[in-house]
Amino acid sequence: MTDPEGQLDALARRLEELASELAAVRELAARAYDDTPALARRLFERRRSPEWQDAYAAGPLVSVRIGTYRGGDLLFDRTLASVLAQSYEHWEAIVVCDGQEPETAARIAALGDPRVRCFQRPRPGPYPEEQRARWHVAGSFPFNEAVGRARGAWIAPLDHDDEWTADHLELLLEQARRTRAEVVYGAFRALVADAGETWFGAWPPRQGDFGFQAAIYHAGLADALYDANAHLLDEPGDWNLARRLLEAGVRWDFVDRVVGTYYVDADAATLDWWRERVASRGAHPDSAASDLPPD
């Protein structure tokens, strides 16, 4: 006689085994695709150079990397305003438009601040059409171009609708110089549409609790670029780059302070995820004491 329940159990076990094998193959393919060992080898070589150590000297130039797509008033009234208000003043800002935006270029020129430069890509993307995949990698191209044009010893990423606390650069740079870390990040307050306030940024770095807008990193890592195909691994571009740096042995450090604000709009693809985080986590303990603007 056949044993239907036993057959079903055996089939379920086999499916679990196949799922595990498939996950292992996917992880192996991702590692081969990332070519992490090559990044690690370059890292070992560069750490030996005098130029690498120069980044930890007093007063290094910090390159603020901003990619924008129709940022409009938010780019100027929120994002660039927070850069201009930094207590650490030795910075340059490279704004790269993801497509032709002559009005943005004209407004940046009108600022009259030579530290802020604007470049325009001939067209946006290309990015995948599917919404989730597009969200994973949108901005990869202007982010990379801005880093390629940077002249500083440190890279400080910022999105075109987020903002920093006034001591963002000073605080993270001081921590990097003190610990000789190559990536330093803090916590970011998140204002979620009509749901309220929460935060991201915790130690150790992990997906969902890290964003590059909360970080600075050594310019010697600049050739580790955003990957516009990260969506094929179902990874957001920020975390894909962070994971590769972690696996290459880059030295990280964390400051448990709110260093900026991230805004989640009502039409964001991740709105439900953020609503759940508001409900489960609430606001960061440091949020009330920070110099961030009121809600």
Q: pLDDT digits over 205-239, tens only?
A: 999 999 999 999 999 999 999 999 998 888 999 99
Residue 212: helix, strand or coil by DSSP?
Answer: helix
pLDDT of residue 293: 42
Measured over the CA atoms of residue 236, residue 238, residue 244 and residue 249, the dihedral's sign is: negative
Q: Helices 4-34 & 36-47, crossing angle to 10 degrees?
A: 40
CB count within 10 Å of CB 230 equals 23
What is the rounded distance in angstroms from the CA atom of residue 13 to the CA atom of residue 191? Answer: 44
Instruction: Give the Å distances, CA to CA, from 10 to 2, 14, 56.
Output: 13, 6, 59
pLDDT of residue 269: 86
pLDDT of residue 220: 97
Which of 3-7, 13-17, 181-185, 202-206 has the lowest average pLDDT?
Answer: 3-7
| pLDDT (tens digit per residue) in 97-121 | 999 999 999 999 999 999 999 999 9
Mean pLDDT, the chain, rounded, equals 91
Q: Are 256 and 186 in contact (CB under 8 A)?
A: yes
pLDDT of residue 26: 65
Instruction: Give the Å distances, CA to CA, from 44 to 18, 99, 152, 153, 250.
Output: 38, 37, 21, 18, 10
Nearest one of 234, 144, 232, 238 to 185, comparing CA atoms: 238
Task: Give burial (CB, 10 Å; 0-12/13-18/19+) of 151.
Answer: exposed
Q: Are 139 and 98 in contact (CB under 8 A)?
A: yes
What is the rounded distance in angstroms from the CA atom of residue 232 to the CA atom of residue 221? Answer: 23
pLDDT of residue 232: 87
